[in-house]
Structure 1
Amino acid sequence: MAAKSTHFGITVRNVTKAFPGRDNGPDFLALDDVSLDIGPGEFLALVGPSGCGKSTLLDLIAGLSTPTSGELLLGDTAITGPGLDRGVVFQQYALFPWRTAQANIEFGLEIKGVDRRARAERAREVLELVGLTPFAKHYPHELSGGMRQRVAIARSLAYEPEVLLMDEPYAALDAQTREALQSDLRDIWERTGTTILFITHGIDEAVFLGQRVAVMTSQPGRIKTIIPIELDHRDVDDLRSTPEFVAYRRQIWGLLHEEVRKAFQAHDPALAAATGVA
């Protein structure tokens, strides 16, 4: 399947998101003045401490939530709600257990009003893309966790979204399956040219996948820095062992460690002092 000729990027402009406080308390500020540009066809990985607002930002881009202030754009169009121009893949597969792999993939096409023959053909194309052609008639309970996540990815790709939003999709998988799916996703991205925002807690995963890695601060979430990743995936057998990869990992870990320390101090200053976290 050839990459699309045109793609849209994402613009996040001065976005703040606050949630009402409990029991008439102060509002909870999840995101504070976040600005971020994801270029058309770019693969951006997003990392940050737990609770920094990564998933909140993804929900805003998906149109599942609205910002307290600021603006979000897909191309030149304001994001005002969910749409089939954005595919979302979560950690949980959310497949329909009564549908086969192919029928699960066809779901979005049904919503779009695509006729039965066309959607079956398209489902077969993306099944081939994710390497699951022999399992088209299998039900989710007959598939491994990695296979089910491939079906979820294929379902999102089937209706050709401009953007694929992925919220820690491999977090529940074992290490070997996770690394295999990371390689698969890079291949799919290179073949389709889809703009991808990938949220992860894994530094190795972010470095392996992203053209750039955006690092968020501790709560309230802001963009701390964005690191371009320049690695050659084509001619290296074990990319993760190269000095270049190790250097990126160390750089991002240093940035994250600083934010985790700040979050720890803010949450429990007494314990932080007692344990020597300064």
Structure 2
Amino acid sequence: MPSATPKIRFEHVGKTFPLRTPRTARAAPERFTALQDIDLDIAPGEFSVIVGPSGCGKSTLLDLLGGLTHPTRGRVLLDGAPVTGPGRDRGTVFQSYALLPWRTARGNVEFGLEAGGTPRRERAEKAAEYLSLVGLDGFADRHPHELSGGMRQRVALARSLAYDPDVLLMDEPFAALDAQTRESLQEELLGVWRRTGKTVVFITHSIDEAVLLGERVTVLTSRPGRVKERVTVDLGERAPSDDPRSSPEFAAYRHRVRELLHGEVSRAQELERSALRGKETAA
């Protein structure tokens, strides 16, 4: 159940970006509103998934939490303190693995620890521990080009976990993987989350992935992104061999999230068509 004190809080958060330089010095630049009036609490240890149509600001939300950009209005709080920049209390896993090609799997996991001044022996121990945690025993000396896509993503996950962040931020980390590898890593991630108790914020386009992974699924509206609804998911206890995707509970949650998204996707597509017509008219 959610804690009375949230781990993460978005308070009336809005984010706009300038579109282009004004033609005259007096003219204000046009602005693009990515997020508008976001209010969102995430409990300690929660696996929170965010879904929404393309362009609704999902990745921007994650960038705000990661401290890579700042809200235009409102504030983002972590443990009650405003997020003012990146920090070692947050680890990020991207869709692109962002591994250093000249380093081995072990070397990539050790990279963040080196930057933090961790002694060499401790770095080696932690790298071995977290590579084992993500199922890569025996692959520590392989370079990224010697690993499959799923293995590279496991290395990226181990690297983020190794310096023990409180919060794990994941921006569509499995989107580029084949279906079988994706399912395997979903189960692996759930296992890591249960063992470590990390707070996870996970972005995805997949409704099935959202329902499978998330304790709570936040559905954003089409641009500008706002919180449309939060769906609490409870698939019950299950044995490792059970597939919850075949259960009636899973089907019901999947239908609910899809229903919430359907109108927003249609609106997003209409916005894109309107923008295209505007460009054609201007041309």
Q: TM-score, normalised by structure 2?
A: 0.91
**Equivalent residue for 1:209?**
213
| Residue 220 (1) aligns with residue 220 (2) | no
2:17 maps to 19
CA–CA distance in structure 2, aligned partners of residues 100 and 87 of structure 1:
20
Give the secondary-structure state (helix, strand or coil) at the position aligned to 1:135.
Answer: coil
Describe the superposition over 1:128-154 as per-residue Cα deviations: whole angstroms up to 9, x where unpaired: 100101101111000000000000000
Residue-by-residue CA offset, 1:216-250 (whole Å, 9 max, x unaligned): 00000001000000012523622111111011111
Maintained 8 Å contact 2:10/2:41: yes
Q: Which one-letter code corresponds to 2:183 in the other structure?
A: E
**Over aligned residue pairs, what C-alpha RMSD do you find?**
1.8
Unaligned runs of 5+ in 1: 1-6, 272-278
With over 3 angstroms needed to count, the CA separation of the structure-2 counterparts of 1:201 and 1:270, relative to structure 1, is closer
Q: Given the alignment of the two structures, is residue 175 of structure 1 paired with residue 173 of structure 2, yes or no?
A: no
Shift of residue 23 of structure 1? Answer: 4.0
Identity %: 61
Contact 1:89–1:166, Cα closer than 8 Å, also in 2: yes
Deviation track 1:168-198 (CA, whole Å, cap 9, x = no partner) reads 0000000000000000000000000000000
Counterpart residue number, 1:93: 97
Of the three residues 76, 83, 87, the one matched with 1:83 is 87
1:240 is aligned to 245
Give the unaligned 5+ runs of structure 2: 23-28, 277-283
For 1:6-25, what per-residue CA distance to the aligned partner results, in whole angstroms no more than 9, with x for missing partners? Answer: x9811111110000122425
Once residues 6 and 188 of structure 2 are traced to their aligned partners in structure 1, the CA distance between those partners, rounded to angstroms, is 22
Pairing of 1:1-278 with structure 2 (within 5 A): 9-24=7-22, 25-235=29-239, 237-268=242-273
> Matched residues in 2 for 1:163 and 1:47: separation?
19
> For 1:38 and 1:107, how far apart are their aligned partners in 2?
29
SS where residue 49 of structure 1 aligns?
coil
* CA distance in structure 2 between the aligned counterparts of 1:219 and 1:126, rounded to whole angstroms: 38
Could you tell me whether the CA contact under 8 Å between 2:127 and 2:162 is conserved in 1?
A: yes
* Distance of 2:108 and 2:90 partners within structure 1: 17
Give the partner amino acid of 1:237.
D
Matched residue SS, 2:59 = helix
